[in-house]
Amino acid sequence: MNGAESLVRTLVAGGVDVCFANPGTSEMHFVAALDRVDGMRCVLGLFEGVVTGAADGYYRMKGTPASTLLHLGPGLANGLANLHNAKKANSGIVNIVGQHATYHIGYNAPLTSDIEGLARPMSSWVRTSPDATSVSADGAAAIVAAKSAPAQIATLILPADTAWNEADGIAQVPAESQRANYSSQAVDNAAKVLRAGGGETLLLMTGSALTEHGLALAAQIAGKTGCKVMGQTYNPRMARGKGRFAIDRIPYVIEQALPILKNFKNIVLVEANDPVAFFAYPNKPSMLKPQGCEVHRMTTGAENSVAALEALASALGAKPADRQPQKMVDIAKPTGALTHASIAQAIAMAIPENAIVVDESITTGRGFFPPTAAAAPHDWLQNMGGSIGFSTPVATGAAVACPDRKVICMVGDGSAMYTLQSLWTQAREGLNVVTIVFANKIYQILRGEFDGVGAGEPGQRALDMLKINRPDLDFVALAKGMGVPGRSVANADDFNKALAEAIAEPGPRLIEVQM
């Protein structure tokens, strides 16, 4: 067997059995191996940003890495923005990037570039296979890196001759490294802080803590100690909906975040970062905690936060009975005009049980969290790296990971135009994704940021860089172009109806919400 086949067999044996791919010439032996090796599902994307974002969504829902297949430096470059988002989400991905044959690199053919240099900023593990007999072991090492705790972006670069030359066979992937337990000392310290002043303490959680069980433990701790529990502004995945402990997130807008945090004397971090503004603004702080607030880390992304929360609850004597009832926002099908509030109500009513909600709704969705807390139970996925064009690929990968669940992808029109090619992959694979595009015809977030950074009121030339009307985008036509049925709605009744129909039907659908 050649190097490429040894790699595909090693990946499958190592549990990496989905490959999101946009291959080129140097990857043809990998593609050819698919015909000989059973057990690898290869999913084609028409653009590499789709491929890498799909791998992120897959990891978030499956908890185990997929691979990507990318064509030399530029193919990797096209996928970097969503690798950035995936890296910030601690998602594990095995990137396979083709390269010229080792002896061809020095001739500086058109596609030659510094692939390792491109890979490093968005990867935690980078290696170039030197020869065909190394490929399977390198692949196994990439899998180990991708599955480490926290998970990593591992990028293996495969010169064409290492793919086509004879290999030795497949490599064993060592047993998975376990997520480290947790620091008892850190839990004891958190318990001490919470006992001393629960009401002045914020328990700030993200990552693996935000499962239904992790949140239930936090609810007990909050009930027992009076502490406040919040999530980060952005979280990779959060269990939400009816019956689950509903937490707020730190608002994106700094003027809203500061007053919420101003009275805390202590913050206990469960995987979360010491809260920092998304951007800097003149004469506003970067760090969001108040002066004198002490920050205590209980767990990192490498540790077992749910076990730590169990230990913390136990140390505090916090029991299920300590959980306090929460007041939910009332939800009902809206009528009349489409406003941010009525859109939120419609979505809260429509989310089906066990749905996966991918949220890139940006300004339109700033109020979505309270009403959807009362929706049917679901998982909520957010963009961890801030690079737009995240949601449609992540929704694609989540749907590949969970074919029996409905994926609701909520996206602003500006963001949707980054990686809209995802729709084609959804159509090809028959994925159960309902994409809701909020067509406000402007990068509305920038309209706010323009003021936020002290640039005043935009004039006509500046506004031209923020508005994306002239011409208006027609998302129903764009979806049709990629084989996805779509519908445009301009009032709440039509939106309710479109949501119900799209969710009832198998396969992808798109709804353009005219705002």
Of residues 100 and 323, the one with the C-beta less far from its own copies: 100
Contacts to its own copies from residues 85-104, by CB under 8 A: 85, 88, 100-101, 103-104
- Which has the closest alpha carbon to 493: 368, 373, 332? 332
**Separation in Å, CA 30 to CA 27, 38, 47, 123, 420:** 5, 13, 18, 22, 26
Q: Residue 225: which residues within 8 A CB-CB, separation 6 or more?
A: 194, 195, 198, 199, 201, 316, 318
CB atoms within 10 A of CB 148: 17
Q: How far is CA 47 from the centre of its chain?
A: 18
Contacts to its own copies from residues 54-73, by CB under 8 A: 73
Position among 70, 94, 167, 277 found at the interface with its own copies (CB under 8 A): 277
Q: Is residue 506 involved in binding its own copies (CB under 8 A)?
A: no
| Coil vs helix vs strand at 196 | helix
Stretch of residues binding its own copies (CB under 8 A), selected from 83-91, 139-147, 365-373, 396-404: 83-91
Contact assessment for residue 87 and residue 433, using Cβ atoms and an 8 Å cutoff: no
Contacts to its own copies from residues 113-142, by CB under 8 A: 113-114, 117-118, 120-122
Contacts to its own copies from residues 460-489, by CB under 8 A: 460-462, 464-466, 468, 470-478, 480-483
Query: Whole-number minimum distance, CB 319 to its own copies, in Å?
Result: 36
Q: Residue 512's beta-bridge partner residues?
A: 437, 488
The residue type of 186 is A
Query: Whole-number minimum distance, CB 246 to its own copies, in Å?
Result: 23
Report DSSP state, residue 379. Answer: E
Contacts to its own copies from residues 254-273, by CB under 8 A: 273
Position among 196, 287, 332, 504 found at the interface with its own copies (CB under 8 A): 287
Query: Whole-number minimum distance, CB 182 to its own copies, in Å?
Result: 22
Q: Residue 326: which residues within 8 A CB-CB, separation 6 or more?
A: 245, 246
Of residues 317 and 481, the one with the C-beta less far from its own copies: 481
Contacts to its own copies from residues 381-440, by CB under 8 A: 383-387, 389, 414, 417-418, 421, 424, 427-428
Contact assessment for residue 76 and residue 115, using Cβ atoms and an 8 Å cutoff: yes
Position among 12, 253, 258, 276 found at the interface with its own copies (CB under 8 A): 276
Contact assessment for residue 65 and residue 33, using Cβ atoms and an 8 Å cutoff: no
Contacts to its own copies from residues 147-186, by CB under 8 A: 160-161, 164
Query: Whole-number minimum distance, CB 103 to its own copies, in Å?
Result: 7
Q: Is residue 302 involved in binding its own copies (CB under 8 A)?
A: no
Q: Is residue 77 involved in binding its own copies (CB under 8 A)?
A: yes
Stretch of residues binding its own copies (CB under 8 A), selected from 19-27, 200-208, 325-333, 350-358: 19-27
Q: How far apart are CA 484 and CA 228, in angstroms?
A: 43
Of residues 482 and 515, the one with the C-beta less far from its own copies: 482
Q: How many residues bind its own copies (CB under 8 A)?
A: 99
CB atoms within 10 A of CB 150: 18
